[in-house]
Amino acid sequence: MKFFVDTADIAEIRELAALGLLDGVTTNPTLIAKSGRPIKDVIKEICATVEGPVSAEVAATDYDGMMREAAPLAAIATNVTIKVPLTIDGIKACRALSKDGHKVNVTLCFSATQALLAAKAGATFISPFVGRLDDIGLDGMELIREIRQIYDNYDHLKTEILAASIRSNLHVKQAAMAGADVATIPPAILKGLFNHPLTDKGLASFLADWKKTGQSIT
């Protein structure tokens, strides 16, 4: 499973990219607003830092507006992925953009049938929001499993499942087990994947024992 980071914070992105584990970045209007910077500047800097796909979301809700906004976003860099909402106009824009050779991330997916529509429209990625489904008492990971089954039934559907609204380490594990192609993860959760109390305890024990030997490797 590929790891994308869900942030517009360039310092966080650079830190995670240096680990060699980062496959892409997703942003949205909320994250851009938090950055306090112009969207084009933010996306350009991210694209220069990360080789993989960088999702830049349109703000328009109508087809013509989406297409107008997609053009300058796509012109920023070759690794820009245009992000559109899962609405009738969004799916229409997805189809047009995909036919023009652009990568498209269809976001705010909450049902398997919505995911099927996006795949038929040529979406590069579909973004089911697992955490938001959990918030209303549903099983977000069940949606990942349903989409995986549907996509696997049809060889011509090439859309990648991008598990979004990830809230915990458990979500990351469950998404991988359910067959998601990608998980887009907040920086704090991505860093937290390294942590386990037994790792810390074992390392402390090893270091204490090594100190007793009085040796130096260098």
Enzyme catalytic residues: 83
Helix H or strand E encompassing 115: helix 112-120
Task: Tell how strand 125-128 and strand 24-26 pair up.
Answer: unpaired
Contact status, residue 181 vs residue 158, Cβ threshold 8 Å? no
Task: Give me the residues paired with residue 83 across strands.
Answer: 57, 105
CA atoms within 13 A on the CB side of 153: 8
> From CA 191, how far away is CA 189, in angstroms rounded?
5
Maximum Cα–Cα distance for the chain, whole Å?
72
Residue 181 CB coordination number (10 Å): 17
The backbone torsions φ and ψ at residue 154, rounded to the nearest 5 degrees and listed phi first, read -135, 110
